[in-house]
Amino acid sequence: MIVMRSAWRTLDTATLRAVVVMSLSVLVIGTSYGVAAHGAGLALWQIVLVATVVLAGSSEFVFVGILAAGGVPILAALAGLLVNTRNFGYGLAVGKHLRGTPEILLGAHLINDETAALATAESDPRRARAAFLLCGLGVLVAWPAGAALGATLGGVVADPGKLGLDAAFPALLAALAIPALRDGATWAAVTVGAAVAVASTPFLPAGLPIIGALGGFAALETVRRSREASLRAPETACTGTDAAEEGASARDMLGHNNVRSRR
């Protein structure tokens, strides 16, 4: 409660509004997840438990989607874990703003796309910390609540698909991914990953094509490394040439001084 009051006082109106809008959006997407999880055969308590403990929408959607397609649960869990590895990068960017071990442990649970986006948008460390914690606590309430609501709707509504909630999560992913597609290396990763997923879907069990799509990240890393190497090569060559020229100039100067001293 103290953290909430402190964060609320630190942030301006625009950021507070963004936190509220983000939390409401998470509530809607959580409802979509609850409907999908109910359709995959999970009980209400299982849906709410996973939503609270995992607290990672994309991983949970992947997990539930693989189960709904008849995939093996262990593969579904593995795919969800792989999708969630991006949070390591988020943690490195946001963790430096947190104070003390208890807050860092709480932050490890609250880290996700939404909280990281709001925190990294703030240039001031105090405001970044406040935005992260406030949005994280909002997501911690909104996501399980939406999951419970969706699970209830899934048990009451004859055809939950008519609600159109299944479009909420793909729309969010598209909104997050489109800005990154301006980079050529990211395009390479997306193209390779999508090609692997589509090509392997008819032959592999449900869940494995998603894991195979992560090969796009390998393509991304390869392109980036080759680009960095090509940029460093001219610099190295120029540095070597400059050093050689400086060495030659120094030797000439030394020789000239020696001649003068002999005279």
Residue-by-residue pLDDT tens, the chain, 263 positions = 555 556 656 777 888 888 888 898 899 889 989 988 998 899 999 999 999 999 998 889 889 988 888 888 898 898 888 888 888 888 888 999 998 899 999 999 999 988 988 888 888 888 899 999 999 999 999 999 999 999 998 878 756 666 666 666 667 666 656 766 777 777 777 788 788 888 888 887 666 676 677 666 666 667 767 777 777 766 555 555 554 555 555 455 545 445 444 44
Residue that finishes a domain, picked among 179, 196, 225: 179
173 and 68 share a domain?
Answer: yes
161 and 125 share a domain?
Answer: yes
154 and 206 share a domain?
Answer: no
Write down the number of H helices and E strands in the chain: 13, 0
167 and 191 share a domain?
Answer: no
66: left (phi over 0), alpha (psi -120 to 50) or beta: alpha
Which long-range contacts link 222-225 to residues 24+ away (Cβ below 8 Å)? Answer: 223/184, 223/185, 223/188, 223/189, 224/185
In which domain, by residue range, is 259 found? 183-263
| Number of folded domains that form the chain | 2
CA separation for the pair 190, 192 (Å, rounded)? 6
Beta carbons of 30 and 57 less than 8 angstroms apart: yes
210 and 153 share a domain?
Answer: no
Beta carbons of 76 and 67 less than 8 angstroms apart: yes
CA-to-CA separations, 132 to 56, 97, 129, in angstroms, rounded: 15, 9, 5
CA separation for the pair 260, 263 (Å, rounded)? 5
60 and 167 share a domain?
Answer: yes
Angle (nearest 5°) at CA 120 between 60 and 86: 35
239 and 140 share a domain?
Answer: no
39 and 138 share a domain?
Answer: yes
CA separation for the pair 144, 43 (Å, rounded)? 14
167 and 240 share a domain?
Answer: no
Burial label, 163 (beta-carbon count in 10 A; 0-12, 13-18, 19+): middle
Residue that finishes a domain, picked among 124, 157, 179: 179
23 and 69 share a domain?
Answer: yes
pTM: 0.66
Residue that finishes a domain, picked among 160, 179, 198: 179
Beta carbons of 123 and 3 less than 8 angstroms apart: no
Q: Residues 6 or more apart from 69 whose CB is under 8 A from it? A: 206, 207
Determine the pLDDT at residue 259.
43
